[in-house]
């Protein structure tokens, strides 16, 4: 379907070393306005069109607009170490379905059939995309699996992770004045 777009990496002004992935339609216009409207959907591309725009060299990558259809994407940041080892707990959550490395090579992305509400929890580096946003696609697969129906046990674990609060040394400690 026409759910594809391209994206450009832009350095984050306030967080050196971090990048924003800015979505664009293949027309060259930044994706803007309300996602999922007829105008937004009409400007999205087929996979082949998005890949062609990327291969012409103007963009950093391709992505899939999440419009609330049958797919849910899971996005786990900072779960692949310098030795290319994937955190076992995160790997277990993507077992059996299509999963790939994120553009940084440090994160994991997986797709399941089925619906799970959009959500994010930066404390545990988990994001769920279903009805909004877009997900970058690298093709850097970690398995040979096709997209499967989300198992109930996985769904329950993701819901639990989204609700989890971690104690962060950044916010829990009082800084001494310099």
Q: Write the DSSP assignment of 55-71 as a string of letters.
A: HTTSSSEEEEE--SSSE
Rounded CA separation 61/158 (Å): 27
Q: Is 51 exposed, middle or buried (0-12, 13-18, 19+ CB in 10 A)?
A: middle
CA distances 109 to 8, 33, 60, 120, 131, Å, are 18, 26, 17, 14, 16
Q: Look at the pTM and tell me if it is higher than 0.95.
A: no
Which residue matches tokens 């082949």?
48
Cβ distance 75 to 130 under 8 Å? no
Cβ distance 54 to 62 under 8 Å? yes
Cβ distance 137 to 3 under 8 Å? no
Which distant-in-sequence residues (6+ apart) come within 8 Å of 178 by Cβ?
none
Full pLDDT tens readout for the chain, 178 residues: 799 999 999 988 887 777 899 999 999 999 999 999 999 999 999 999 999 999 998 899 999 999 999 999 999 999 999 999 999 999 999 999 999 999 999 999 999 999 999 999 999 999 999 999 999 999 999 999 999 999 999 999 999 999 987 665 544 444 445 4
Burial 89-101 (b: 16+ CB within 10 A, else e): ebbebbebbbbbb
């Amino acid at each position: 379907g026409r759910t594809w777009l391209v994206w450009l990496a832009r350095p984050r002004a306030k967080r050196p070393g971090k990048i924003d992935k800015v979505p664009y339609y293949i027309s060259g216009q930044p994706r803007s306005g309300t996602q999922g409207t007829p105008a937004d959907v009409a400007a999205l591309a087929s996979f082949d069109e998005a890949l062609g725009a990327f291969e012409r060299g103007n963009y950093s990558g391709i992505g899939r607009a999440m419009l609330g259809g049958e797919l849910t994407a899971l996005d786990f940041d900072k779960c692949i170490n310098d030795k290319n080892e994937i955190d076992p707990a995160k790997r277990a959550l993507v077992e059996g379905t299509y999963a790939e490395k994120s553009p940084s090579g440090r994160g994991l992305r997986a797709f399941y059939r089925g619906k799970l509400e959009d959500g994010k929890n930066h404390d545990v580096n988990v994001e769920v995309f279903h009805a909004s946003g877009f997900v970058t696609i690298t093709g850097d697969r970690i398995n040979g699996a096709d997209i499967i129906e989300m198992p109930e046990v996985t769904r329950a674990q993701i819901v639990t992770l989204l609700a989890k609060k971690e104690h962060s040394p950044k916010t829990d400690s009082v800084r001494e004045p310099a």
